[in-house]
Amino acid sequence: MRSLDTPDRGLDASPVRALQRCALCAPGEVCFFCDSQTAAAVNSGDMIVADRRVRRGESLFRTGDAFHFLFAVRGGIFKTVRNLGDGREQVTGFQMAGDILGTDAIGGHVHESDAVSLDESRVCAIRYAGIERLGRALPQMHDLLRKAMSGELAKQQSVILLLGTMRAEERLAMFLLTLSQRFKARGYSPTEFTLRMSRLEIASYLGMKIETVSRMFSRLNAEGLISARREQIRILDFAGLTRCVRRNAH
Amino acid sequence: MRSLDTPDRGLDASPVRALQRCALCAPGEVCFFCDSQTAAAVNSGDMIVADRRVRRGESLFRTGDAFHFLFAVRGGIFKTVRNLGDGREQVTGFQMAGDILGTDAIGGHVHESDAVSLDESRVCAIRYAGIERLGRALPQMHDLLRKAMSGELAKQQSVILLLGTMRAEERLAMFLLTLSQRFKARGYSPTEFTLRMSRLEIASYLGMKIETVSRMFSRLNAEGLISARREQIRILDFAGLTRCVRRNAH
DNA sequence: CGTCCAGTTGACCTCCATCAAAAAGTGTGG
DNA sequence: CCACACTTTTTGATGGAGGTCAACTGGACG
């Protein structure tokens, strides 16, 4: 009930807190650490934070890299790709402003996935050792981090449900609804947006083949639920899309 | 490469640290907070920790419950079940000694899944407020928690890959290999064990139907890789099972 | 010994993958 | 600006893995 009725807690949605901008964020940007308390710490220089831009196609980190930094996405969009070792790989998520990258490497000290920018992106690189140290003086930051990681866990569980229980059409409908939600939360139009990821990347993320993704786009088009032409998406019927996710049940 | 070559970092595997038992753990038990430092804090009464047994079929928490406690599994086994709201649901994981439960609710303050015991289980219930408070004096505990959550994220990503890219036979082979690994890490036989979960629960977890699970068990049997009779499993050929996971690639 | 439930096996069908080709963009050099 | 190569997306035709439905098997328990 919850994940469908409250889509902002559903698949890959991330609650973007309406917080004060931190010292590093430019107007129009939000980042994970945008919090007055935390921003103060950043200013005071207690924590090593580096502003960084990442070009389309560039990686923040790759599988096997030693873990030193967490990354707070301030603008643009990333994909994370995880490798199975036999040539197979899968996109495990898309991250945009307000999202955090690298948390899955805290435990193993090594990144288990690639983070690739799909756009001109801006991030803050935050030295993890600094976070560990600073937490004593600034417990809010640790709280923020735990909440973000907990949110990641919940998001991934939604992906697991999508992959484990949904049919192709539902998956795509869910994907579009979630994207729409995320754009809305960031102040962009929820009804009209441009896909930054290719059909291949969508297919990988949704556990299907590129042809099937294409067919499902066409089908949603034919049903009058969306108007999709290549990367340009307009959602025409939210209720219909939501019904589409539910109806294939059982 | 990594997830197959180093199975203990693969699907649902959890590195069980060989640490000193904490004050609450009985001989033969391990828990998440088994750490001399942490154990001391537990003893000193700084953190509210309650020992608790959970009977087969009982829940630790249910979807919608307010979040107050994390649970450290000391013995037995749990499943977490997440609901899609239209009748569909899926088992998102199995947790045994050393694993932690409830972390996905830290962000939203509400549990988004059910945690059900599949056995006579023992857990420590740890008041989350206590963890937040105690972290200042005992940073190791926060570190432990972050690492555990990070490990959860990595585990779930492996599940996402399993659901997104693997065929039915591979999924079951992977499941058995991972279980074996987890038993081994806990000092039990990796070659011979009893499944505590039903075929239905396995099917749900692996995103397939009960009939398919049954067929795949039969197939692995026929191939001489395992000897499975109902819940009693013996692994006859580890290399063969591993090859089975790889071979269906592409 | 019959009932019940979990698991297995069989027969059939559907959804999606696969293979193939056309269509629509994108980029490059003349 | 056009011709040509090349990539990405769409559409079509076909087949196969796994879902569905149904019957059977084998423990567990009264």
Q: What is the pLDDT of residues A107-150, one digit of tens each?
A: 999 999 999 999 999 998 988 988 888 777 778 888 889 999 99
Average pLDDT over residues A158-185: 97
pLDDT band at B20 (very low <50, low <70, confident <90, very high): low
pLDDT of B13 reads 44
pLDDT of A211 reads 98
Enter the pTM of the model.
0.90
pLDDT of A250 reads 53
Check whether B15 has a pLDDT greater than 60.
Answer: no
- Among A40-49, A203-212, B175-184, the minimum mean pLDDT is found in A40-49
Pick B199 or B4 by higher pLDDT: B199
Check whether A11 has a pLDDT greater than 60.
Answer: no
For A160, the closest of B135, B146, B156 (CB atoms) is B156
Check whether A157 has a pLDDT greater than 80.
Answer: yes
Average pLDDT over residues A151-158: 97
HEC string for chain A: CHHHHCHHHCCCCCCCCCCCCCCCCCCCCCCCCCCHHHHHHHHHCCCCEEEEEECCCCEEECCCCECCEEEEEEECEEEEEEECCCCCEEEEEEEECCCEECHHHCCCCECCEEEEECCCEEEEEEEHHHHHHHCCCCHHHHHHHHHHHHHHHHHHHHHHHHHHHCCHHHHHHHHHHHHHHHHHHCCCCCCEEECCCCHHHHHHHHCCCHHHHHHHHHHHHHCCCEEEECCEEEECCHHHHHHHHHHCCC
The residue among B80, B100, B147, B149 with the most chain A CBs within 10 A of its CB, best to mutate, is B149
For chain A residues 206-245, those near strand D by a CB cutoff of 7 A are 210-211, 213-215, 217-218, 228-231
Strand D nucleotides within 7 Å of a protein CB: 8-13, 17-22
pLDDT of B247 reads 75
pLDDT of B228 reads 93
Interface of A with B in 206-225 (CB under 8 A): 206-207
pLDDT in tens, A192-243: 999 999 999 999 999 999 999 999 999 999 999 999 988 999 999 999 999 9
Residue % of chain B over a pLDDT of 70: 84
For B86, the closest of A4, A64, A205 (CB atoms) is A4
Per the prediction, chain B carries an average pLDDT of 87
Check whether B115 has a pLDDT greater than 70.
Answer: yes
pLDDT of B57 reads 94
In angstroms, the separation between the Cα of residue A145 and the nearest Cα of chain B is: 9
pLDDT band at A172 (very low <50, low <70, confident <90, very high): very high
Check whether B168 has a pLDDT greater than 50.
Answer: yes
The reply to whether A163 touches chain B by the CB within 8 Å rule is yes
The reply to whether A107 touches chain B by the CB within 8 Å rule is yes
CB A9 within 8 A of CB A2: yes
pLDDT of A46 reads 63
Average pLDDT over residues B220-249: 92
What residue has token string 């050393």?
B98
Sign of CA dihedral B115, B120, B123, B127: positive
Check whether A105 has a pLDDT greater than 90.
Answer: yes
